[in-house]
Amino acid sequence: MVYLILSTYSLILASFLHVVGSNYPIRRPFFFRKSSECDHCGKKLRAIDMIPVMSFVILKGRSNCCNERMSRTYFIVELLSPIFICTLYSVYGFNYSFYVHVFIFSLLIILYVSDIFYLHIPNLILLVYFLSFAGFYGLTNRDMLSDQLYQLFMGFVIFLGTYFLVRRGFGFGDIKLLILLCFLLSLKEALFIFVIAVFSGVTLIGVAYMFQKELKAKKIPFVPFILVGFLCSPFISDYFWEFIFHR
């Protein structure tokens, strides 16, 4: 029963986060909208067009009104959310780590959609999440706030240094996100996420380039790979660092 409730609310959350990620970067309102509209022709969507996951499958990935191809991000976000959140619950239950990771997951879903659609990471979204965590720590545990600010400072030094040394494959928005993850999680987890993101990114792009030579000239969003790293982090980050330092 718990998993059914979690899955239901996860799907609702996923749909809302996708709306935020696809609308906020272009300053299109996403609160208090009268109705949802087709991304292509602007027609009002029917209830059958908005069933999470199922609508994409039933309509075979095309809009019902104009038969244009729908973005796969709808399907990915709506499928991924209940799987990740239910798995997270099975490992952590309803403890502090569960809520923190769900909160950060919501951030990354918004930025995933924004980066895929517009290659843009909105600064205000990052600021809202930073202030939310800072306010929470400030009210509940000031010692933890000090610890997390130290993690933030160390992440700032390491990732900013990495950006100026490498400066290829990711933009400054990606670096700001990784620095924020040092504050929201820890430097160790942010480094793990970065390692997995780089590895998965290089692997996928390398394979894709073998079949699509013109891919080299295109800008590739990096947030999807950061999301991959984050999805792995709650479950294998500790094992990864244990293997690195104790082998």
Q: Please state, in angstroms and rounded to a whole number, the distance separating the CA atoms of residues 110 and 124.
A: 12
- DSSP designation for 34: S
Q: Is residue 242 part of a domain?
A: yes
Q: List C-alpha distances in Å: 78 to 26, 54, 75, 83, 196.
A: 22, 10, 5, 9, 23
Identify whether residues 129 and 75 lie together within a single domain. Answer: no
Residue 18 resides in a domain: yes
Domain that includes residue 60, residue range: 1-95
Count structural domains, the chain.
2
Judge if 125 and 234 occupy the same domain. yes
**Domain presence at residue 108:** no
Residue 52: helix, strand or coil by DSSP? coil
pLDDT of residue 228: 96
Check whether residue 147 and residue 243 sit in a common domain: yes
What is the model's pLDDT at position 49?
67
Question: Could you report the per-residue pLDDT of 91-140, keeping only the tens digit for each?
Answer: 999 999 999 999 999 999 999 999 999 999 999 999 999 999 999 988 88
Count Cα atoms within 13 angstroms, Cβ side, for 73: 24
pLDDT beneath 50, residues of the chain: none
> Is 109 domain-assigned?
no
Q: Would 114 be classed as within a structural domain?
A: no
Predicted pLDDT at 121: 95
Query: Looking at the domain assignment, is residue 100 inside a domain?
Result: no
The pLDDT, as a whole number, for residue 62 is: 77
Q: Does residue 189 contact residue 181 with C-beta atoms inside 8 Å?
A: yes
The Cα 93–Cα 126 span in angstroms is: 27
Looking at the structure, do residues 86 and 130 belong to the same domain, yes or no? no
> Is 126 in the same domain as 167?
yes
Could you tell me how far CA 60 lies from the centroid of its own chain? 25
Closest to 91 measured CA to CA, from 235, 238, 245: 235
